[in-house]
Amino acid sequence: TEPAHRAALVAAATAGGHRIDVLVNNAGGLGPSPRPALADFPLDALADLFEVNVVAPLGLVQQALPSLVAAGGTIVNVTSDAGVEPYEGWGGYGATKAALDHLGRILAAEHPELRVLTIDPGDMRTKMHQDAFPGEDISDRPRPDESVPGLLRLLESDVPSGRYRVAYVDAM
C-alpha cells in the first residue's frame, strides 16, 4: 500500500526500456474475522480494507499507466462475487470489491486503448477463504493455481474490457 513501494515495482518492471504489458492487481484483504455485519463493521478496519483492496490497486495502475498505454496493455483486477451479491456478513469486503469493479469500468472508459479485465476466480481453497469460514471444510474448492488456465485463456483471447468469471471461460 506504500506509494514508494509501488513506484519501485514499476521502476523495476520498466528498467532497461521494458514495458508493462499486463498488470495484475491480486493483493487483497478480507477484513475482520469473523465477518461483522456492516452496521457493526469497525470503520478503521473498513478504511484499511479500502486502502488494500481499492486505493493500492489504483495507485499501482496510476504508476504503471504510461507503460501500459505505450504497450496497449491489459489491466487485470481480481474481484469477487461479494462485490455484486448482497451476502450477509460480507459488506465491508464486498463494498471494496464493488469499488474495484467500478474502477475497472471507469478505467476502460477513460482508456479505450487498454483492456481492463475484472476477473472473479470464484471460491478457492485459500487461507483467506478458510478464515472467512472457520471450521468449514473447504477442501472441495479449487486451489488458486487451478484458476490460472482460465485466466490465461482470457488474456490470450480478444475479449473486450469487462467482468468475467473464470469458471465460465470455457463456455465463452
Residues annotated catalytic, as ranges: 93
Distance between CA atoms of residues 150 and 34, nearest Å:
31
Whether the upstream peptide bond of residue 34 has omega within 30° of 0, thus cis, is yes
Residue 144, classified by CB atoms within 10 Å of its CB into exposed (0-12), middle (13-18) or buried (19+), is middle
Give start and end residues of each alpha helix (H) in 72-160: 91-110, 127-132, 148-156
Closest CA to 77 of 25, 3, 133, 1: 25
By the 8 A CB rule, do 92 and 41 touch?
yes
By the 8 A CB rule, do 82 and 97 touch?
yes
Strands 22-25 and 74-78, by their bridges, are: parallel
Distance between CA atoms of residues 162 and 95, nearest Å:
18
DSSP state of 146: G
